[in-house]
Structure 1
Amino acid sequence: MAQKLVHSKILALKTTLSEALEGKGAGSILFERRAKGVLVYLSLRREGKQERLKLGNYVDKTLVEWRAYAAATSLEARRFPSIEHYLTAEKERARASQRLADIEARQGTLAQMLDAYVDDMERRGKSSAKSVRGALKLDVLTPFPELSKRKAKEIEPSDVAQILRNCLTRSVAHKGRGVRLTKATANNGKKRQADKLRSYLQAAFAFGLANDLNPLRSGDSVEYGLKTNPARDVPTIEGANRANTWALTKDELKSIVLAVERLPDRRRAIAKAMLYLAGQRVEMLCRVTWPDFYNDGEHSDVLRLLDLKGGRGTPPREHLLPITNRLAEILSPLLALKDLGRAPGPFYLRGTVCIAPGTALDIFTVLGDQLSEQGLTRRFTWRTLRATIETHLAALGVNQERRAWLLSHGRSGVQAKHYDRWNYLPEKRADLDRWARYLDELAGNPSADNVVTGIFAKTA
């Protein structure tokens, strides 16, 4: 058996020392004194020729570690015809490993992907971008910080399911009222919110999948390495869409109209505009500026709203509403701001601060709490009122097609989407007049009870 070297002997060597590695043809480990210290080599004899491969400086490892390292390197190097071939293969493997490391370093986290998804929504002018960002922060980024730091490609369907369970069971997070844990029901909106969150996550992962394949993406930008969409396999939340299958009765709507009259001046003006404009989307109203009011020369005064709903690349759609005589009266406190020159549009609080969609929605959320506590209505929100308004319009004889024109519902079919460019302002004027008379009668004319007899009888 060949004699084993010892640490002290290697440190004291003047020229070179070697020790045979175990195994036939394994070669030997060679120690050589140089100016920088003792260097370590693997020595192999290949086809009658002695070859050496530098392994490193002796002080970097222990003697036992050098023996193991030299033996492993020898085993690998003997797979190639020569040390040169081995080194070439090692360089290529190092380059491939570096490429993988670079790709891995560029692959974004779940948090990065969600932020990029919402940023993309904002670039495309999507009106829901702000609410989507808030929902993702509330239900994903804040409660799951560790999960958010994981690579997006590492997220599993089970992780998405966990996020949705938390959304269903977390404390209510609205105006500080989250002091109790509420059971998820269709009425309190938690099932609906969880299902919306599921759709946001599914869309975000779809964005991540498309991002990597986008030829317009910069080559050194963040990639996500996604192969599948983990949110796609998570089922929809059963019962999530039940919340808006009901509408307020005529008596309940009357209580709301009367309660609006008791609101402070600015909020009363904004709330009445929301009601008399037949329940338009609040986001559209909050975007209105003075140039959006104009006389079109044919239909007199018109209000232009921009509908930003639609798929990727869908341009904003103009939604025109005629300003009837009654609407002009209702809007007069808001339109007076123009003469004051302090606000760029009508839906401003104190005449200077644009009302946020959430603030406008809260006017009716608070009313819903107050009136339900008084036993005058069931608990409602503006979402409930939009369903109520459309239901009452139907009862007044406004058919489905005309309600779609009036409320800017999405158009389907080739003819409606691409060829029908009529604005339906005469029809909208007639329906807004009919709706204003209905609200006015509810507010102060007892004969209003005779309108649409029996259709909205108060339920038990």
Structure 2
Amino acid sequence: MARIKLTAGRIRDFTCPTDKAQAFLWDTEAPGLALRATPGSEARAFVFQSKLNGKALRVTIGDVRAWNLDDARTEARRLQTLVDQGTDPRQQKAERIAAAEAKRAAAEAAKAEADRQARYTLRALCDAYLSALERAGKGKSAAGARSLFKCHIDQDTANKPARAVTAHEVAALVRRVREAGKERAAGVLRSYLSAAFNAAKRAPFDSALPADLIAFGIEHNPVDAIPAIAVQRGDRTLSAAELRAYIGHLLRIGHETGPELSDTALLLALHAGGQRMAQLLRAKVGDFDPDTATLRLWDGKGKRTQPREHLLPLAPHAAAMVAALVERAKARETERAKQEGRAPDMAGLWLFSTHGRVAMNPETVSNRAAEICAGIGGEPFNVRDIRRTVETMLAGLGISKDTRAQLLSHGISGVQAAHYDRHAYTDEKRAALVAWEARLEAIRQAERTPSNVVRLGQRAA
């Protein structure tokens, strides 16, 4: 093959004949170096060609627009040296490319991990878990957990990658709350953190859990090593005299229209058998059937994926209160619609709403109960203590445990309750509520027991 000393001008002017796929111009200065041209005025590159172990090899150095002549000659000499040493430069190039690719992949993995650490923090995990609770209809639980996370997880721990949080760090969080004298808060904080980590751990395998938890990459739950903190059960119940004072505060006439709405909520919860306030405040106009005097609540407590329907066949006084609330809600909607120049929309009206737009906050009612408690004096009590008092007094009236469980919507579970016991307990609940209203009236009138009430399970004399 003919050789010629390559120059910048010769490189510029060299082209491939139209009847050939490629053409070469071999250099006399660097062994094995050639200029290769293919059809197209700009399609020119430096190549190196030699023999290794009797077999020809060719390596492309690079495009003439990227390589100058001197650098191409230097590279050709280097490649010839490798051949003389028995090394295949193509293999070396492949190894160099593989090493560069591995380095690039490692850099990308490091960047991805850095992004994960910056994005998938403990705070982000808590937020994702809270969103999952809210989507499942557990708004009250989500609100309680959010408050605990905000108050008791320090910034350093909150900003740490969730998958890197250790059991020691979680234990320190729980310990600080417990040592501050907030034992119940410490136990609940531990429970919610454990639930968040467990949800993210199961998310890759459980289609019922949101996919956004998968990205946290949680493989173990650091809370598992921390013992659960037993919740101290409350045992406060009100005496008949205390309950009489409580009812008196709720029935007082504070203004011309009667008791405040929060007082009405407390009074209805009491007459309806000690219902949970959060569930009662979510009741809407459409949940009341005036023909049967039945109020429908929705119990979303526990691990239910869907709230359980909880029907209350109300006794006369409670039914009258609900009927009045229904009329109040409809009247307010009618007035708003008139002012806004539209037709009234009675669907979805809240029974307990100050302005009609949102349901009353359970905290508002709890605060009102605390005010009443302070006004009465004596040993403090709260709405949970009222609920406990109701069940205790219902038991005293001879109401069976099963009926009380149905009436107060306790944790009704197990194979029998979930799959076989389809009895609605409507008659039993109505009889219990009628007896309970009579008992409340007797307490209000300072009587020991109402003369017209017979303990259930016993015969009248």
Same fold (TM over 0.5): yes
In structure 1, the residue matched to 2:124 is 112
CA RMSD of the aligned region, Å?
3.8
In structure 2, the residue matched to 1:245 is 235
Measure, in 2, the Cα distance between the counterparts of 1:351 and 1:288.
Answer: 13
Deviation at 1:288, TM superposition (A): 0.8
Deviation sequence 1:304-337 (CA, Å, 0-9, x none): 111112426x322111011221222344542331
Deviation at 1:441, TM superposition (A): 1.4
Say if 1:269 and 1:331, in contact at 8 Å, map to a contact too.
no
Query: Structure 1 residue aligned with 2:374, among 363, 369, 385?
Result: 369
In structure 2, the residue matched to 1:206 is 198
Matched, 1:158 2:168: yes
Matched, 1:340 2:316: no
Say if 2:204 and 2:211, in contact at 8 Å, map to a contact too.
no
Q: 1:165-180 maps to which residues of 2 (within 5 A)? A: 165-169=175-179
Measure, in 2, the Cα distance between the counterparts of 1:424 and 1:351.
Answer: 33
Matched, 1:94 2:104: yes
User: Structure 1 residues 415 and 353, CA, compared in 2 at 3 Å: closer, same or farther?
Assistant: closer
Matched, 1:386 2:398: no
User: Structure 1 residues 219 and 286, CA, compared in 2 at 3 Å: closer, same or farther?
Assistant: closer
Say if 1:106 and 1:222, in contact at 8 Å, map to a contact too.
no
User: Structure 1 residues 234 and 254, CA, compared in 2 at 3 Å: closer, same or farther?
Assistant: same
Measure, in 2, the Cα distance between the counterparts of 1:114 and 1:220.
Answer: 12
Q: 1:24-423 maps to which residues of 2 (within 5 A)? A: 48-49=84-85, 82-99=92-109, 101-106=111-116, 108-127=120-139, 128-140=141-153, 144-169=154-179, 184=181, 190-213=182-205, 223-238=215-230, 240-242=231-233, 244-262=234-252, 264=254, 265-266=259-260, 267-295=262-290, 300-311=292-303, 314-342=305-333, 344-349=349-354, 354-371=359-376, 374-375=377-378, 378-423=379-424
Which residue identity lines up with residue 202 of structure 1 in the other structure?
S
Q: Which has the larger radius of gyration?
A: 2
Deviation at 1:202, TM superposition (A): 0.4
Deviation at 1:215, TM superposition (A): 6.5
* Stretch of structure 1 that moved more, 191-200 or 325-334: 325-334
User: Structure 1 residues 365 and 263, CA, compared in 2 at 3 Å: closer, same or farther?
Assistant: farther
Which residue identity lines up with residue 364 of structure 1 in the other structure?
A
* Stretch of structure 1 that moved more, 323-332 or 410-419: 323-332
Deviation sequence 1:318-377 (CA, Å, 0-9, x none): 110112212223445423313414381221236666311111222212222333xx33xx
User: Structure 1 residues 325 and 450, CA, compared in 2 at 3 Å: closer, same or farther?
Assistant: closer
Measure, in 2, the Cα distance between the counterparts of 1:287 and 1:218.
Answer: 26
Measure, in 2, the Cα distance between the counterparts of 1:336 and 1:117.
Answer: 39
* Stretch of structure 1 that moved more, 389-398 or 361-370: 361-370
Deviation at 1:106, TM superposition (A): 3.6
User: Structure 1 residues 221 and 49, CA, compared in 2 at 3 Å: closer, same or farther?
Assistant: farther
Which residue identity lines up with residue 445 of structure 1 in the other structure?
A
Which residue identity lines up with residue 194 of structure 2 in the other structure?
Q
Measure, in 2, the Cα distance between the counterparts of 1:341 and 1:421.
Answer: 39
Unaligned runs of 5+ in 2: 1-66, 334-345, 454-461
Say if 1:292 and 1:304, in contact at 8 Å, map to a contact too.
yes
Which residue identity lines up with residue 124 of structure 2 in the other structure?
Q
In structure 1, the residue matched to 2:439 is 438
* Stretch of structure 1 that moved more, 351-360 or 199-208: 351-360
Measure, in 2, the Cα distance between the counterparts of 1:406 and 1:449.
Answer: 21
Say if 1:321 and 1:429, in contact at 8 Å, map to a contact too.
yes
User: Structure 1 residues 287 and 219, CA, compared in 2 at 3 Å: closer, same or farther?
Assistant: closer
Measure, in 2, the Cα distance between the counterparts of 1:194 and 1:439.
Answer: 37
User: Structure 1 residues 47 and 215, CA, compared in 2 at 3 Å: closer, same or farther?
Assistant: farther
Count of residue pairs brought into register by the alignment = 365
User: Structure 1 residues 130 and 390, CA, compared in 2 at 3 Å: closer, same or farther?
Assistant: same
Percent identity over the alignment is 31
Measure, in 2, the Cα distance between the counterparts of 1:345 and 1:223.
Answer: 39
Deviation sequence 1:15-45 (CA, Å, 0-9, x none): xxxxxxxxxxxxxxxxxxx98x99999x796
Say if 1:369 and 1:380, in contact at 8 Å, map to a contact too.
no
Measure, in 2, the Cα distance between the counterparts of 1:447 and 1:220.
Answer: 59
Deviation at 1:212, TM superposition (A): 4.1
Deviation at 1:50, TM superposition (A): 8.7
Measure, in 1, the Cα distance between the counterparts of 2:331 and 2:450.
Answer: 41
Deviation at 1:111, TM superposition (A): 0.8
Which residue identity lines up with residue 121 of structure 1 in the other structure?
L
Say if 2:125 and 2:196, in contact at 8 Å, map to a contact too.
yes
Deviation at 1:261, TM superposition (A): 2.3
Measure, in 2, the Cα distance between the counterparts of 1:325 and 1:161.
Answer: 52
User: Structure 1 residues 217 and 443, CA, compared in 2 at 3 Å: closer, same or farther?
Assistant: closer
SS of the aligned residue for 2:149 comes to helix
Which residue identity lines up with residue 312 of structure 2 in the other structure?
L
Measure, in 2, the Cα distance between the counterparts of 1:315 and 1:220.
Answer: 21
Say if 1:303 and 1:320, in contact at 8 Å, map to a contact too.
yes
Say if 2:295 and 2:312, in contact at 8 Å, map to a contact too.
yes
TM-score (normalizing by structure 1): 0.69
Deviation at 1:416, TM superposition (A): 1.1
Deviation at 1:221, TM superposition (A): 8.1
